[in-house]
Chain A
């Protein structure tokens, strides 16, 4: 079965760090474009970061300089290292695969997410 399973969420104080993992099965994280997307309480979905098959990475302005996306090809796992966490980073974090058809990129496979709570 093709699936993505996130882990690593939890409660962290402002200014702290956390590393999220997204374990993939039935697909290769190294040959796909992979994203992190978050859903904050009472808000809408927000794209956070992408890593291309080439290894290039991009970030939303809200997390640039604080978050780092990476992958371990041997473990077929995607990561999100989150530093200098803020209260406004509280959200459920989903990983998602990017794919293209009809000249449109879209996220066709998502994980169920892991909850990150930033609070003192």
Chain B
């Protein structure tokens, strides 16, 4: 099974900051990496698919990069609604999520 390791597990930031979350796969997954945002009581939201493609309706302050085993999610200019938990997911072989990064103030 492919393991996904996210870092950091938690992150404190302020409105307007630029933050980066990293995700590492235990083996190469090419570009099969997705990013989701989750808030309590809400449906998780797809942000980025195939490593760097912005999902429809997602603000352009979100961006993704990487290939192979190392990936990053960057949020440029944090907004109040961005404080949430973020997960990476590999879809190269079935599905595995990272353990999550909780972003708070």
A binds B: yes
Q: In the complex the two chains form, what is the Cα distance from A83 to B95 in whole Å? A: 23
Cβ–Cβ contact B46 & A39, under 8 A = no
Residue from A45, A104, A108, A111 within 8 A of B87 (CB atoms): A45
Given A44-B87, A45-B87, A101-B53, A106:B97 Cβ within 8 A? no
- Inter-chain contact B87/A105, CB cutoff 8 Å: no
Residues of A within 8 A of B45 (CB): 110
- The answer to whether A112 touches B87, judged by C-beta atoms less than 8 angstroms apart, is no
Main secondary structure of the interface of B (DSSP, over half): loop
- Identify B99's interface contact among A44, A103, A108, CB under 8 A: A44
Closest chain B residue, CB of each to CB of A60: B94
Given A44-B97, A45-B38, A110 contacting B44 (CB threshold 8 A): yes
Q: Interface size of B by Cβ–Cβ distance < 8 Å? A: 28
What distance in Å separates the Cβ of A85 from its nearest Cβ neighbour in chain B?
22
The reply to whether B36 and A104 form a contact with Cβ atoms under 8 Å apart is no
In the complex, which range does the number of interface residues on chain A fall in? Answer: 20 to 34
- Count how many pairs of residues, one from A and one from B, have CB atoms less than 8 Å apart in the complex: 74
Chain B residues with Cβ below 8 Å from A105 are 32, 91, 95
- Nearest Cβ in chain A — how far from B73, in angstroms? 14
Residues of B within 8 A of A106 (CB): 34, 46, 49-50, 89, 91
Q: How far is the CB of A1 from the nearest CB of chain B, in Å?
A: 13
Cβ–Cβ < 8 Å partners of B51 in chain A: 104
Q: Which residues of B contact A (CB under 8 A)?
A: 30-34, 36, 38, 41-46, 49-51, 53, 55, 87, 89, 91, 94-100
In addition to A45-B44, A102-B31, A104-B50, 12 A-B residue pairs with Cβ atoms within 8 Å of each other are A35-B95, A39-B38, A44-B99, A45-B97, A47-B97, A104-B31, A104-B49, A105-B32, A106-B46, A106-B91, A107-B46, A111-B43
4 pairs of A and B residues whose beta carbons are closest in the complex: A104-B50, A102-B50, A47-B95, A110-B43
